[in-house]
Every structure is written in structure tokens, then in C-alpha cells.
Structure 1
Amino acid sequence: MSRIGNGEEEGLVADVLVIGGGMAGAWAATAAAREGAHVVLVEKGYCGTSGATAAAGPGHWWAPPDPPEARANAIAQRQRIAFGLGEPHWMRRVLDETWRLLPTLAPYYDFPKDDQGKVRNYRALRGPEYMRALREQIVDLGVVVLDHSPALELLAHADGAIGGAAGIRTQRGGSPWRIAAGAVVLAAGGTSFRSHLLGSRNNTGDGYLMAAEAGAELSGMEFTAAYTVAPQHSTMTRTMSYAFADYFDADGRQIDAPFGPDQTERLAQALLAGPIYCSLARLPEDVQRHLPTISPNVMLPFARWGIDPFRERFEVTLHTDGTIRGIGGVRVRSEDCGTGVPGLYVAGDTASRELVAGASSGGGNVNSAWALSSGSWAGRAAARRARRVPAGFGGLSALGRTGLRASGRPRPVSAAEAVDAVRAEMHPYDKNLFRTGKGLAASRRTLDAVWSDLATHAASNGMAALALREATALVASARWSVASAEARTETRGMHRRLDHPTLDPDLAVRLIAGGFDTVTVRPQATAATSPFESVA
């Protein structure tokens, strides 16, 4: 690994560049380093505390290889809620990779043990300790971690192969950096469309934007209508306690919204009529006693408000999860999580989870197992490519456009107003959860106008570039989501169309989205097996 400095711009040459320092990015860096690669990881925030995992208690999809029926049953159960879009081959791979790799974190994470010192539970981890352990692991493996260093664009060779990225150092006044690499792994997270989902502030769809600018496609972007219950005026979206919740309207009448797959829809319908209130009185007393220790942050909002949530009712809302607990992302084109663009791999929420989750949210366990597995596959593949493709700055060109370089006459464009426009189309229940063709068309027209303004006039550098690129990524992600939802004229999994309330067997296909000035969506058949092409 080498460093090049010219006073203002810092350049590194590495084998593998990982963009994103959450769970998937850390596992990708681990896998690449274990393959002998020199790895640089850049993170918008701080690797170890940023992102959804650090604020959560992630479980992992976990099934032992023996007895064999354990995994077969886990896959069959997942298939029942995948609505024809999940693939058992990929589910088996994820279960196997998770079973094999998660215990290797034991030198850094204190898994709970029985009286004989034997680990009794690998699958459930505490988010803060998990991310701290992953950071310690990659540092010990020699990974160079650049915190507070968001990537703004990819760099490509003349043949289109990805050869690095460029960004800024936010704690150095927005000073630029450039990194050349033999391969790049995008693990920059998904997006909740700037909702108040806990830990999602930095997740603005940056990986989607950069991948699409390189020529990759998106898949499953219609499956973004995931919502999570939270106390009103709070970002606390830890939901275990709400399995025992009862809900009431403003007049004290109980709302028929039992815990289950239809609960979100019922709560959203009630919220459209007025405020709703929650009671956690049914939470078992032993859980009530231990909750401040198990999940101390869950109790913080109530402590601030002076509310006892087990004896007093409190107002709740639903925060959109977007693709973080939804499905969509960059289309996976090979078993090593290649994108179809040479030198570019994706992992975690940046990659579409359709292959393993189908049309229903993977929740915490499937999503965590996917982050670990996809990160590891992508990291190993990137390291193998780097052995064949030497890194260097010669001939690299920047791929970033909207938000960095205007197509017309530059003039000031408000990033905040663009973000507000996205929130106005992607948060409301009557637009994003209860969808109609008419409503989606109206959202498309609004977002297209915002995109046109950004693409034509927005140009920036330094710290201003970060806000504009985040806004650009959010608008692009919302447009792909809306266009895909328009094209799926049925109800399947978390995608609900009031004007097409039934499942259409002919639409058991993936919807592949792409494009910027004009968004395109086309169907792609699913595979019973996995006939993916090998992408170098």
C-alpha cells in the first residue's frame, strides 16, 4: 500500500477498497485481509458506532448443519413468505456461511457461555459490542480505516472497470481524498429516505447511486414499504417489547392490531384517522425488570419524558425503514456478489436481498446473516481480483455526475429541499404503504422534477458536495422505488397496491431498474437454481 500527497489531496493505492464501515463492510474488509490483500475501508461516520447495527441487537439467521432437516425447515419456512422470489440455493449458502464465520469472532466478542465454558449462543449479539469487535478485528488484520471520510464517486478505467473512489475528509474541512484499488466493495448501507429510523441518518442510498453511475442495475426497489413502530417524537425503533403491545385510539378504544404480519397495515390505517397510543402492560414482569439491562437505550425516551411505559400509555408512530429492513438494492449478478461491472462488488443493504428474503422483510436475522455472508463473499472476490489487476491512478476517470457536476448552467440548488421532497413522497402511509397507480404517478412526476433541477444545475465540491450527493442519492433511490412500484401491478409481500389487491402469478419476476434522466424498469425471470454468470 502506498500514499501519495500533493498538499491538498491525499491518495492511497491499495488492493481492495471497502466503502462503508457497518457490519457488511467490516466483514468484507475481514475477508479481503484474510486473503492477503492490503485493504482500505472508508466510512462516512465512525466504523464501530455508525449505522443501524451499532444501535441494534442483531440476531443472525442460524441453523445447524446437523440434523439436516434443521436447515431444510428454515429454508422452507422462509420460502413460504418469499412469495416466489427467494431462491433456496442462496438461502443455503447464507446459512452455511453464517454458521462457519460468526464463531470466528470469538477472540473479539464475548459470546455467552454455560457453566462449563461452552458457548451457548452465537446467533444473537449486542450491536455496540458487535461493531466494536469487528473494528478491532479488521485493525488487527492490518486494514487501514479512514473514519469521517465519505466516498462521493467511483473512479473507473477506460474500459469501464472500477479502479477506486474519491471523497472528502469531513473532519478536515472537506479536504479531498482519492484511493486507487484493484477492486471496490460497496457496503454503504441502504436508505430509510431520511426517516427517523434509529441509526439510519447516514444511510442515504449512496451505494446505489455510485453503482448505477458505474453501470450496475437495481433490483427489488419496489419492496421499500417497511415500517417500524416507535414512540412519537423518538428514533427508538427497537421493537421486541411491542410483541406484547396493545394499541388504543384517542378516545381509548382498543385498536384491532394484534402482533403479526398485518399489524403494520392496521396501525397505519389507524394513524391516518388520528393519533394512537400504546400500552406495554402485558410485557412479562421478568422482561420488564431486565429490559433496562438488555436494551438500555429503549428506556431512555421514557426516562426523559417521565413516563412508565409498563403502566402508562404513550403515543406511537411508524417510521419508514425503506431498504434497510426492506429488500431492494443493487442487483447481484454473480455468486461472489459481483454487479456485472468489473471490479465492483456489493454487500449488505447496498445489495438487493431478494435472493434470500424474497418479497418480505428479512427482519433482523436474515438481514444480519446476509450482511455477514455477502460481505465475506464480496471481500474474498475483491481480493482475488486484486491479485490479477494492479492498482494505480493512471487512466482513472471520475464517474460522479449529479450533485457534483451540472449538465447545464450551475446555480444554487437546495439539498435540504430535495430531501424534504423525497420525505414527502416516501414517508406517508397513503403514498408508500397503501399504493395506487394514480398516487405513484403523482410521486413520479414530483421526483422527476426534483431530479431534473439537481441534474441540470447542482455542482459542488468540499463539504457542500456531501449534502448534495446525499440528496441526489435519496432522489435517485426514491425514483427507482416509485417506478418499480408502478410496474408491479399486483400485491406481493410488502408491496401493496390498493388498485391491484391480489397476487398475479405472471409477476413472479424480479423488476430490474436503472437510469437517471429516464428511469427504466424491466422484468427478469427468477431461477430455481442459480445460473449466474461469472463476472471478473
Structure 2
Amino acid sequence: MSLEFDHSYKLANQNYDVSLKADVLVIGGGPAGTWAALTATENGASVILVDKGYCGSSGATAPSGNGVWYIPEDQRGEAMKSREALGGYLSERKWMERVLQRTFENVNRLDEWGYPFPIDEHGVKHKRSLQGPEYMRLMRRKLNKAKIKILDHSPALELLYDGYGIAGAAGVQTQENNQTWAVQANSIVIASGGCAFLSKALGCNVLTGDGYLFASEAGADLSGMEFSNAYAITPKYSSITKTAFYEWASFTYEDGSIIEGAGSKRGRSVIAKKLSEGQKVFAQLDKAQNDHDLQKYMRIAQPNFFLQFDRMGINPFEDRFEVTLRFEGTVRGTGGIRITDETCATSVPGLFAAGDAATRELICGGFTGGGSYNAAWAISSGYWSGEAAAKYALTYNRNNHDRTLTRKQVVGINEHHTPGETLGGNELTKLVQAEVTPYNVNLFRAEEKLTSSLLTLNNLWKEAKSHLGEKDSDLVRVRESAAMLATSRWMYSAALQRTETRGMHKRLDFPKTDDHQQRRLITSGLDEIQVNWDSHSLVNI
């Protein structure tokens, strides 16, 4: 089988080395991507999955212990209610109910497939957490058994098009001498994760907002991008950002005195203020110090959380350890590609979004979906998007015709460069990080600093359009830097529009919640960004 290409542009000055064809292409090999691929196959579609890393071991889920929003039916009302106020009442019960039911059913399928859920002394399996290594190893086995073609270490760099719209994607195989690949597909599921801005959070260095950029270049829009300023507590010099167990922590100054408010729901803001003042902050899980059964459970639930301490000879229940905050952006935030219906379709025909690549406002509102909610969303949105992508693909191109694939001009690859010094991907990444990581801009938000940073980022975008290229980094980093730059601009544009405090979005100049802003913000565009209120998401106004 061969594909017909319009070679008006060439990817990295090469022709495509590998040309493939499938009904459905899934971009991303985490939980959302693997569920999408499996479900599309179960619905009769041929599927190719491409992953920036190795499907089954890359991404935020693979190295971690993950809670799951696995709730029996009689407890779901309270579970939903407990989330609504935190998220600023931007979530929807309809979606929460759907996610809870689909997650319940799919987690039970994991049990049937042989996932080793722990069993208590009464013989009851506990299904509210998943160990990433075992979970993703099982999912890869299922992909292989279903004969789904996997392209590992094959980051997508751009989408491909024909006269009818989305028609595939192209990228490189980084462990095959950067061979170029192209896949023709009738529908695409973007499950490439969120954007952590290369902050070195565990498993997140492949999560640079690539899917957001692809979707926007295709004409899709985003939602909830103002809720993308998540910072996680982590031991200093550690990449592990699992935060659930800090509920049992006391936070202290270097002299051992208690930091008031650091252990509350607004504790990250308190810690950030102390760190920005140059003070050291220490933690100790002393509230679980005398509960050995709880300690045993903690170690079973998240073993890698304790591995970092064991290696350093620290007993976190008995010893204090220095902490900091690591930026996680949209990975633990809720912003992402806007989906338009229950199939997880975007506004672009044939393009679907799942997992952290999609907005999680529907179940989390404006407060972090980190942990069990994101895990449930990945499972359920992956399932729905895979099902819908298969149905769309099989209906759209019943005769499986080859399509003439063309490319758009995209930043970093084939924009018409003007003479001048090249802006490298590593250089641009550092410039973006300088605007999005400081607490006094992104966590403690106010118009003056947001406006100043956004002006800098907008100017960087103009420069990137004409000068971004391979200078000090490869093409993958070039496109990653473009994606992070675009994501930062969407974040701050939405943050300026929401003139109130809601969820994780805190405005120092608008500290109160405004009932008239109890609706979602839709962000779109690349060169010129538009932010508009979603008139269809008014809630109790």
C-alpha cells in the first residue's frame, strides 16, 4: 500500500520514510490513548497508535500510583457534590454521572483482564487505585493482543489534511535515525496529554502541549485554559509530585516552628509565598506517625512516593524534609481542547480529544483534576473517543480510498523564514519557562503582571513564526517549544478575561467570585487569540 502525497513541503528536508494507513490514528500512548485504541478496534476499525515515548512506560501515569474515581452507585451523589464547590460550579452532573459509570465498568474490565488489585483480609478487592507500571503494562499487552500497530518513540509533529479536512499526521521516529513517518487516517484521537512546560515533574517531560497545538492549527478551540496553573508540593531535588499524603503533613520553617495555613486547602499559596520570600519550607508526615496500619496502606498505594525517601535514608513520618513547588501546568489543571458532545469530538470533523489533552472542566470545573478524577476521565474519554472515532472513520471512507495528503504551514517546520538569526527550541523553551513558572505571575495573578508576560509571549510568537528552527535542538524540541509558547499565551489570555477568583484561578486584583462569570471561557486562535464566554454553559445564574 502506498500513499499519495503533495510534496509542496518536505518534513525536515526529507520525504516520508514510512507511510502507513489506518481507519483511526491515536496520538499518545497513555491511559486515554490506549483505551481509545482498544475501543476503536472493538468497534471494527483498524488502528495505529503513535507515542512520543514507549507506549506503556512514558507519560505521567506509567511511573506512578494513581487513585481512580471508582465509586459504587449509592455513593456517587455525595462524590459529585464534594467536587462542585471546589471547581467553582463549572462541572456538570450529567458528565460526572457518565464518567463515574463508564469508569466503574472499565475498571471492572481491568479486573477481568487480570490487573492485580489488592485484596483485604475479607477477600474484597480494592479498585480505587492503580499502579502505573502494572496498569500500563497490561494496557500494552491488550494492544498487542488486539494487533494494534504501535509506533514507539515516534512523536507526531503535525497533522495532515486533504480537501475534506483531517486526513492523518506526520512525525519522526527518534530511535530510528529520525526517520520520518506519515499515517493516513479517516479520524484522529488526540490523547497526547497536557503541558507541564518541561518542569521535570515525574513522567511529564513528554507532556508539552503538542496536542493543543495540533488541534488549534486544525481549527479547534480550547476551554478552561485559565485553570492551568497547578503547582505541586514535592521534596526538594525530587521529581515526584504525588501530593495526596501531604494531608497528613505538618509544614515548618527551618527552625521547626509551624507555618500557619500551609496544611490547609490553600496551603500551596502559603508555601509559595514563603518560598518567594527566600525562606525554606519543611514537611513531615507526623499526623500519621503513630498509625502503622495507615503507613502500610500508604506504601502499598504509592510505593514510589516513599522510594525517594528510602534512598535518602529519610523516614518521612519521623523526619523533616525540605520541600518546594513544581509547576505542572495543565497536567494537574483542567484546561485543554474543547469537546463539543458526548463522543469527545472537537469542533473539527474527524478530530477527537481524550485524557489530559481535553478539557476536564466537565467533571472538575476549575479545580485540579489531578489523581483520581483525571484517571477516571482518561479511562472514560478514551473509551468514548475511540468508539466515536471508529464509527466516524468507517462511515466517512467506506471504500478505504487513498487520499492526497497535504500540509499546512506550521510554526517551527515550514513557515517562510525571514533572514536573521535562528531562534532555537531550547532557547525558546527557557524564555517561555521564565514567564510561566514564577509564583508572582502565574499563581498570584493580577492584571499588570499577566499583561506584561502576555506581551512578552506574544512578541515571542511573532519571532518564532519567522525565526524558530533547528539551532540548538532537534525538530521535536522545536515543535515542543512552539506548543509550550502557544499554551502559555492561551493560559494568560483566558486568565486576563476571567476577572474574578474561581477554582485554582486566583486574581489578587479580583479576590471575590463573580456569579455572572459562572460559565466557561472558550479560547481559540494562534496569531490572534480570541477569548469568549461560552453562552451554552451558564449554570445557576
Q: Which moved more, 1:465-474 or 1:283-292?
A: 283-292
**Alignment partner of 1:196 is 2:205:** no
1:405 equivalenced with 2:411 (yes/no): no
Q: What's 1:43 paired with?
A: 51
Which digits, 9 at most, give the CA deviation of each residue in 1:300-357, with x for residues without a partner? 4334444333333221101112111101000111110111101100000000111111
Q: Write the distance in 2 (CA, Å) between the matches of 1:481 and 1:142.
A: 39
String of CA shifts for 1:477-534, please: whole Å, max 9, x gaps. Answer: 00000110011111011000000100111111211112112221111124379xxxxx
Matches within 5 A, 1:150-189: 150-159=155-164, 161-189=165-193
CA distance in 1, matches of 2:68, 2:298: 20
Q: Tell me which residue corresponds to 2:348.
A: 341
Pairwise CA distance, 1:3 = 6.5
Matching residue of 1:109: 115
Residue aligned with 1:192, SS:
coil
Letter in 2 for 1:399: K
2-side partners of 1:526 and 1:269: how far apart? 37
> Cα gap change, 1:193/1:120 in structure 2, threshold over 3 Å: closer, same or farther?
same
Conserved? CA contact 2:251–2:283, under 8 Å: yes
Aligned equivalents of 2:458, 2:444: Cα separation in 1: 21
TM-score by length of 2: 0.92
User: Cα–Cα, structure 1 residues 463 and 133, in superposed 2: closer, same or farther, change >3 Å?
Assistant: farther
Does the 8 Å contact 1:153/1:400 carry over to 2?
A: no
Three-state SS of the structure 2 residue aligned to 1:45 is coil
Query: Out of 249, 262, 267, which is 1:263 matched to?
Result: 267
Which letter maps to 2:467? H
Secondary structure at the residue paired with 2:348? coil
Deviations 1:18-56 (A, max 9, x none): 000001001101110111111100000011110111122
- Does the Cα contact within 8 Å between 1:402 and 1:469 map onto a contact in 2? yes
Residue 9 of structure 2 aligns with which residue? Answer: none
Counterpart position of 1:532: none
**2:130 counterpart SS class:** coil
Cα distance in structure 1, aligned partners of 2:527 and 2:391: 35
Residue 385, structure 1, aligned to residue 392, structure 2: yes
Which residue of 368, 371, 376 corresponds with 2:378?
371
Counterpart of 1:507 in structure 2 is: 517
Contact 2:422–2:471 under 8 Å retained in 1:
no
Question: In the TM superposition, what are the counterparts of 1:264-303 in structure 2 within 5 Å?
Answer: 264-273=268-277, 274-283=279-288, 284-288=291-295, 294-303=301-310
Inter-partner Cα distance in structure 1 for 2:115 and 2:45:
24
Rounded to whole Å, the distance in 2 between the matches of 1:144 and 1:359 is: 37
Deviation track 1:137-162 (CA, whole Å, cap 9, x = no partner) reads: 11111211110000000111213x21
Change (3 A) 1:429 1:459: closer
1 CA distance for matches of 2:471 and 2:134? 36
Contact 1:405 1:460 in 2 (8 A): no
Say which of 217, 220, 232 aligns to 1:216. Answer: 220
Distance 2:226 2:131 in 1: 31
Residue 288 of structure 1 and its aligned partner are, at CA, apart by: 4.0
CA distance in 1, matches of 2:270, 2:166: 46
Paired with 1:380 and 1:294, the residues of 2 have a C-alpha distance of 31
Counterpart mapping for 1:21-40 below 5 A: 21-40=29-48
Which residue is 2:7 aligned to? Answer: none
1:233 to 233, 237, 253: 237
Please give the alpha-carbon distance, in whole angstroms, between the structure 1 residues aligned to 2:3 and 2:88.
51
Q: Establish whether residue 64 from structure 1 lines up as the match of residue 72 from structure 2.
A: yes
Amino acid at match of 2:414: R
Q: Which stretch of the first structure deviates more once superposed, 190-199 or 428-437? A: 190-199
Q: Does 1:525 align with 2:535?
A: yes
Correspondences of 1:74-113 after superposition (within 5 Å): 74-106=79-111, 107-113=113-119
- In structure 2, what residue type is equivalent to 1:199? G
**SS of aligned partner of 1:385:** helix
Q: Which moved more, 1:149-158 or 1:305-314?
A: 305-314
CA contact (8 A) 2:65 2:301 kept: no
Give the alignment partner of residue 128 of structure 1, picking from 125, 133, 139.
133
User: 2:105 is matched by which residue type in structure 1?
Assistant: R
Moved more, 245-254 or 225-234: 245-254
Corresponding residue for 1:308? 315
Alignment RMSD? 2.2
Greater mean deviation of Cα atoms: 389-398 or 168-177: 389-398
Residue 294 of structure 1 deviates from its aligned partner by 4.5
Q: Following TM superposition, by how much is the alpha carbon of 1:287 offset from its aligned partner in structure 2, in angstroms?
A: 4.1
CA distance in 2, matches of 1:302, 1:124: 21
What is the CA deviation profile of residues 196-239 of structure 1, one whole-angstrom value per residue up to 9, with x for unaligned ones?
22110000000000000000001100001211110111101122
Task: Please state if 1:418 is matched with 2:428.
Answer: yes
Counterparts of 2:471 and 2:50, CA distance in 1: 18
Q: Counterpart amino acid of 2:81?
A: A
Residue identity opposite 2:59 in structure 1: G
CA change 1:83–1:116 in 2 (3 A) is closer
**Secondary structure of the structure 1 residue equivalent to 2:56:** coil
Q: In the alignment, is the contact (CA less than 8 A) between 1:79 and 1:88 conserved in 2?
A: no
Structure 1 residues 116 and 247, CA gap change in structure 2 (3 angstroms): closer
SS at match of 2:534: strand
Structure 1 length-normalised TM: 0.93
Q: Contact conserved, 2:424 with 2:473, CA < 8 A, in 1?
A: no
**Local SS of the residue matching 2:286:** coil
Corresponding residue of 1:53: 61
* Alignment-mate amino acid for residue 27 of structure 2: I
Q: Secondary structure at the match of 1:363?
A: coil
Instruction: Tell me the alpha carbon deviations over residues 359-406 of structure 1, each in whole angstroms, 9 at most, x when there is no partner.
Output: 111231111111111111100001001111235553221235001112
Contact 1:166 1:176 in 2 (8 A): yes
Q: Distance in 1 between matches of 2:444 and 2:372?
A: 26
- In structure 2, C-alpha distance between the alignment counterparts of 1:400 and 1:382, rounded to whole Å: 26
Q: Secondary structure at the match of 1:420?
A: helix
1:438 aligns with 2:448: yes
Give the structure 1 partner of residue 10 of structure 2. Answer: none
Matched-pair contact (CA < 8 Å) for 1:26–1:134: yes
1:222, 1:481 within 8 Å by CA — same for their partners in 2?
yes
Shift of residue 413 of structure 1? 1.4
Alignment of 1:444-523 (within 5 A): 444-459=454-469, 464-523=474-533
State the distance in 1 between where 2:502 and 2:173 align. Answer: 42
Query: Take 2:26 and 2:230, find their aligned partners in 1: how far apart are those partners?
Result: 27
Distance 2:463 2:402 in 1: 33
CA distance in 1, matches of 2:141, 2:496: 45
Instruction: Tell me the SS of whatever aligns to 1:397.
Output: coil
Following superposition, the deviation at residue 256 of structure 1 comes to 1.0
Which region of structure 1 is more displaced relative to structure 2, 403-412 or 202-211? 403-412
Higher alpha-carbon deviation: 440-449 or 389-398: 389-398
